[in-house]
Amino acid sequence: MVDFTTYKIDTASEEAKPLLKSAKQAFGLEANLFGKMAEAPALLEGYLTLANIFDKSNLSETERQIILMTNNRLNGCTYCMAAHTTISQMKKVPQDVIDALRAGTAIADPKLEALRTFAVTVNETRGWPSDEQVSALIAAGYSRQTVLEVILGTSLKVMSNYTNHITHTDVDDAFKANVWSSEDSTAA
């Protein structure tokens, strides 16, 4: 196994240091994910930039977390499931939604469930949903913009989930209360 360093602000390259400082200011900790990404400052910058852009989408915090956590679960990313569970709790995402996302089960709210289902479809089809699947999301009360914003959120998760898989990122202490494994999920 190739060992990837978890950089801190004081050990990172000159190119990565300001990115890690900015991330620490934004998130309140030197997250291990960002420390791993600092090996490739362009990846870290790309991830932080895309996360900021995704936050500017027309989606609510709950809707964004549905897309992110659905991808985390489908991609089997234990780090991101723990992190986004914690973030969701901090951002007041309803606990029943968090529980459903962690388990891979239906969300009680039909509109939110349509979004979760579509996020599953985009991930599992690698971006080839049928016209009927796109139409079902729109019929549930979403827009064509939402269809494309699901792609944005999915792209963000490819960056972090794949980084965590390859670098074997340790879950930060701040997220350990929400550790998750694929055995916690009822659906693949």
Predicted pLDDT of residue 182: 77
The Cα 95–Cα 88 span in angstroms is 9
Q: Mind listing the domains of the chain with CATH numbers? A: 17-54 (no CATH), 59-184 (1.20.1290.10)
Contacts 24+ apart (CB under 8 A), 117-121: 118/142, 118/147, 118/150, 119/66, 119/67, 119/70, 119/71, 119/150, 119/153, 119/154, 120/70, 120/74
- pTM passes above 0.85: yes
The Cα 45–Cα 19 span in angstroms is 7
Predicted pLDDT of residue 43: 98
Per-residue pLDDT of the chain (188 residues; tens, 9 = 90+): 899 999 999 999 999 999 999 999 988 999 999 999 999 999 999 999 999 999 999 999 999 999 999 999 999 999 999 999 999 999 999 999 999 999 999 999 999 999 999 999 999 999 999 999 999 999 999 999 999 999 999 999 999 999 999 999 999 999 999 999 877 666 54
